[in-house]
A and B are shown apart, each in its own frame.
Chain A
Amino acid sequence: MERRANPAFYALLVALVLMAVGPIWLMLATSLKLNVDIISGTSALFFVPTLNNYETVLCDYLWYEPEHVRRCDRTFGRALVNSLIVSTVATFLTLILGCMAAYALVRFRFMGRGVTSLTTLLVRMVPPAVLLVPVFGIWTFQYGLDGSRAGLVLVYVAMNLPFVIWILQSFIVQVPIQLEEAARMDGAGPFRTFFLVVLPLIKPGLAAAAIFTFRIAWNEFLLANALADRNTRTVPVVIVNSITEYDIDWGVIMATGMLLAIPPILFTLVASRQIITGMTAGAVKG
């Protein structure tokens, strides 16, 4: 007998899709509406799409001056740049430090290796909210890093490093030790063995770790809100701060939200192309 699909199954599927796509659709639709359309509520589905909101957000970077923008507010544009710089630099630093630390933990024997390896993850179990107050205190009063992008980068690197080390450890373990021995016989020192032989083979791990780190740094709100100042605020902070008691410009907020979503998507697409299996195929007899 042919199996009939249960209608309830489809209903559930549709509900799940709506839950997943609905908010994004709402955000996209709102970002393309004029404020008149947003407030009126009557034209929820039928409206003339406009790029006005996007022009407002990006007014600083456009080659023309949009007519409807009377005074160009640079906040959103600046926040996008801040987010990009902070996330990229944090990702880059985390990966460099993470892969070297992971390699050392996997391959070198030193005192406290086991403890270090375990505690890296332990650090990860502390929620950022707990860290907020001490980090704010130390960054502000000890190092004077408050309000700087470097301060944000530093805290993101510290936050993501344990997990990245943990991910990369599992990738490095899979690199056959014979390859490193072969490299050693070929005359490569530890650094060249690492950079020329091991690193190319753990690219998938690096990509996974990069996606992870970038998204966390990109979306992070709590610490950024506490540490950044007017000039260094990242997009999530700016969005929240733009909701004031006097005015909520939904169109602009949604447009910023859409712009906020684009870089991680692009980044994930590019990075995930590196995530292919079988990197070590052909290295040694399986």
Chain B
Amino acid sequence: MPEIVLDGVEKRYGRTQVLPPLDLTLEDGEFTVLVGPSGCGKSTTLRLLAGLETLSGGEITFDGRPISKLEPKARDVAMVFQDYALYPHMNVAKNMSFALRLSRVPKDEIDRRVAAAAEMLGIDHLLDRKPAALSGGQRQRVAMGRALVRDAGVFLFDEPLSNLDAKLRARMRTELAEMRNSIDKNMIYVTHDQVEAMTLGDRIVVMNAGRIQQQGTPEDLFERPVNKFVAGFIGAPTMNFLPARAEGDRLVGEGFDLPHPPGLPVPQGAVEIGIRPSAITVDHGAPLELRVVVAEYLGAQSVLVTRCGPHEVLAEVESATRAKPGETVRFAVDPAEIMIFDPETGTRLVPDGEG
């Protein structure tokens, strides 16, 4: 379980820079999630760690030991691939034991480790099957089992759940979270799904265009995003962003006039405000009046897509309110939940005490 340090790691293909120099330290025994939109460099970072790509610059160290020149097998890492990558001509047991057989681990030791991993993943009845005879979820388990039996110091997951259907994904996510607690290893997990990131990560690293935007616990990212990108990426439905002007202790924009959030310094001139859909509630006495365009019924909650001047505003409300498209509804916004961003740089205005 090494401490992993990426020091100025970069990757170029010819003249195209896919990953500008990146610094990142991953603590011992942590479950780190790299999250970001596609093409943000998270998978490249993982492949550099795995040794499937060569670095164009910088150095990766495991516990101070430089590893960037080492072959994958010398790095003590195991990887779960996005599309499983099971060997189709081998059965499940053979798939899982391939690495062990290559390194000539004794037969009974192999059997023991395969059996243990298979039991943990609930695939012990499938050991004789070929991958073609497995369902998507079972294949994913085998792929994980193959990494587990290695007993490597570092586990890398490259969007392992993205090919599963929604229900199965949710279940595997729970199981992964359970597994995370029972295995005391360094795990690095790449995903574009912020829900996976939030539920699994001890620490989340949000990346965009090859740069780390913010890293921290799920709570950090949700409650104290450093900039507009992180605020918009974390949380579902996504945060509403509206251009506004600071006028005294009011924030005024097209179609709204909101109080200034308490505790924040008062900015000058144009700002961009962010309000999470969950911070907007239906309140018939409130001054904010919005016209409902679409009502997305989700069960207990409904997401109302409303019009606020030229902008769309999402509100997550109790379904009991029964707002219909075309109606004009009055909404209240909790001033404490309003975030203010610099319209130029996108950075969030923070209270004097914070950050």
Contacts and interface: CB of A to CB of B under 8 A. Distances in A.
Contact of A200 (B50, B73, B89): B89
28 contacts: A176-B83, A178-B82, A181-B85, A182-B87, A183-B98, A184-B52, A184-B71, A185-B51, A185-B73, A185-B99, A186-B99, A186-B150, A187-B72, A187-B103, A188-B73, A188-B102, A192-B102, A196-B98, A201-B88, A201-B89, A279-B89, A281-B132, A282-B88, A282-B131, A282-B134, A284-B84, A284-B86, A285-B84
A184 B72 contact: yes
Interface in B255-270: none
Nearest to A279: B88
A197 interface: yes
A283 interface: yes
Nearest to A177: B85
B77 interface: yes
B132 A185 contact: no
Given A185-B79, A187-B99, A284 B72 contact: no
The residue among B73, B78, B134 with the most chain A CB atoms within 10 A of its own CB is B73
B163 A285 contact: yes
Given A181-B52, A282-B131, 11 more contacts: A178-B81, A179-B85, A179-B87, A182-B146, A185-B51, A185-B72, A187-B99, A187-B103, A201-B88, A282-B88, A284-B83
A37 B87 CA distance: 61
B130 interface: yes
A282 B81 CA distance: 14
A200 B77 CA distance: 26
A200 B78 CA distance: 24
A280 interface: yes
Contacts of B52: 181, 184-185
A176 B81 CA distance: 12
B88 A280 contact: yes
Q: For chain B, give the interface size range.
A: 20 to 34
Interface residues of A, number: 25
A134 interface: no
Q: Which 8 A-B pairs have the closest CB atoms?
A: A282-B131, A282-B132, A187-B73, A186-B99, A178-B85, A284-B83, A182-B85, A281-B132
B125 to A, nearest CB: 17
Interface of A: 176, 178-179, 181-189, 192, 196-197, 200-201, 278-285
B83 A186 contact: no
A248 B240 CA distance: 96
Contacts, number: 85
B87 A283 contact: yes
B129 to A, nearest CB: 9
B139 interface: yes
A184 B102 CA distance: 11
A279 B87 CA distance: 10
A183 B73 CA distance: 10
B79 A283 contact: no
Nearest to B75: A185
Nearest to B140: A285
B24 interface: no
A176 B85 contact: yes
A280 to B, nearest CB: 5
Contacts of A188: 73, 98, 102
Contacts of A187: 72-73, 99, 102-103
